[in-house]
Chain A
Amino acid sequence: MTDSSETGSYPSSWKKAPFIKNSFVRWLIIVGGAIYLAAALGTMNIDLERVKEGLPRAQRFLDSFFPPNFSDNRGVLWEGIAESIWMAIISTVAGIALSIPVGLGAARNLAPAWVYLFCRGVIAASRTFPEIILAIFAVKLFGFGPFAGFVALSLGTIGFYAKLLAEDIENSSASQAEAVKATGANWFQWVNYSIQPQVMPRMIGLSIYRLDINFRESAVVGIVGGGGIGATLNTSFSRYEFDTAAAILIIIILIVMCMEYTSSFFRKWVQ
């Protein structure tokens, strides 16, 4: 709070306290941000002519979106959706199965330093590359189809799930772990009876959340050839069947909405 009146009298007006207190840092951020924005917008070559040309096209485009065509002319719509769902389920399961050892290894309180560093490296690599890039390589290696998507999504799951699992293990209470260790438990018993019960509820919630993400991602790995509804969507875009594309987008949104509600319900139920 700063008062703007002269000394000796009560402040008669009030100014809102700034968000960043240090005025030098504040001005540095404002000026730096302005310079950056000018530079960024300057190099973006926004072609206004093209945008102007595109607007009527957008109108026509949106018109051709409606009404959405659910009639499924080529008979691939529901097949694509089913494929996406199966792909999401199996890749979540496989991804979690792979994440558990990595996550255990990446928890500082369980693993020796070299295992820790190795597992953290795996997580960082998996987190850095978006699922699409993983999918491109999976398609190169395994050929077109849902198997490539499955591999890409499973690898993508590791970065997410193992990281959160490791963090959860690191935050778990050490006294419980000690109590179990004091009974003479071996390493596996120790993990199973002291660590696992502490992290389980959150991990179940997260695996449902990841299923949700994998379904959403499975809608795009198809664009690079990884199977699922994305392949159907991409085909309908390139065949200019925008009404089918609209139907697919609406179905994706509805399924994601359903999954979001179920997953939040499940998470409440588990905790």
Chain B
Amino acid sequence: MAENIFPYKAQKETLPNGLKVIMIPMETPGIVAYYSVVRTGSRDEVEPGKSGFAHFFEHMMFRGTKTYPGAVYDSIVTSIGANANAYTSDDITAFHLNFAKEDLERVIEIESDRFQHLSYAKPAFQTEAGAVYGEYRKSITQPFSLLNEKMQNVAYDVHTYKHTTIGFEADIKAMPEAYDYSKTFFQRFYRPENVVIVICGDIDPATTMAWVKKSYGGWEKGYVAPKVTPEPPQTAERTGDVTYPGKSLPIIDIAYKGDALDPNNRDFVAALLLGDLAFGENSDLYKKLVIQEQKVQFISPSIPPNRDTPLFEIYSMVKTPEDINYVRDEVYKTLESFKTTPVDAARLEGLKKRNKYDFLMGLDTPDHVAGGLARFVAITGDIDVVDQLYKTSDTITAQDVMNAAKKYFVPERRTVVVLKGAK
């Protein structure tokens, strides 16, 4: 039996109301990282006109409760010198604080309070909508924001991955009118069965658990799973173009419908490796296009773990528009070669070694440990998937990589979007 890669012993407990708590004691004197992982992201925005709401709601969670109004919550976080923030993506909303261990009980108190008793008036809700629009405005100047928005819109027909996490601009503009809807969002998703608390660092698990039970024990169940419509299999290639209003080199994004995260799915795990082998920094194509021919600024794969059908993507910024098709065809040629030619065994083992060291070297602070696990927790509800993934990865062969290439990287699963600058 192979060793687990995750080097820490986690203690887990689930409260009667369904709230799971994962505690990971670490030798990090004095410091604790506290993550509240809500297993809801933009994936769960099933109602028309409500794209971006999971992210918006992340903002609203800082508006306070009757016991701790927003300003009071802020002053407590300030008084304990915590490094606190939150983020949202397709499958997750995470709230995190990094602080001194003597403040753990206080943090449990204020975090449990806002997750159970969030309370905000309509003007505050509408004001926060303005801040969200501001976040959209600051980001949309980046070419990749436009490119990803277009790619998701073209690649998906019915699944909520059709929209980005920040949401469609029209929906963001309409957010101030959705006060009543926002209340239902909280009632449906901010429930104990849909939340996992991850606590890492200098903690005593027994004491910590007692505090958690005291503060979260009264949280009522009530999670209502959204009816996310599965994306039907794609049957033909799709294409799209988008014009960036500023000046930008062209970017080509070649995406293939993949499989959801499943550590026992050898095709999926092999695809994770294939992305790097074929298009990573050490790949033949990277060396050809970036270093030798210098036709692109970069080429990079993205094989993400997701709850539902994701896009396995290859991005490249091309130096001249005339070379877009050349680069595209080089990507296709590379994928075809991976279907027919077994990858060199040494390169495969080198990548496995890299992935392990990369993972382990990233576990150097409580915040990095909890933050690194959060997405896996959101997708699966647990952290065991990490060990399972690496165990499967250890057994992946050149034949598995060929199988993954044949399964995923075919024209009928493909969407290609090209961004060009207007100037």
Q: Is this pair of chains taken from one and the same complex?
A: no
Q: B residues near A, CB below 8 A?
A: none
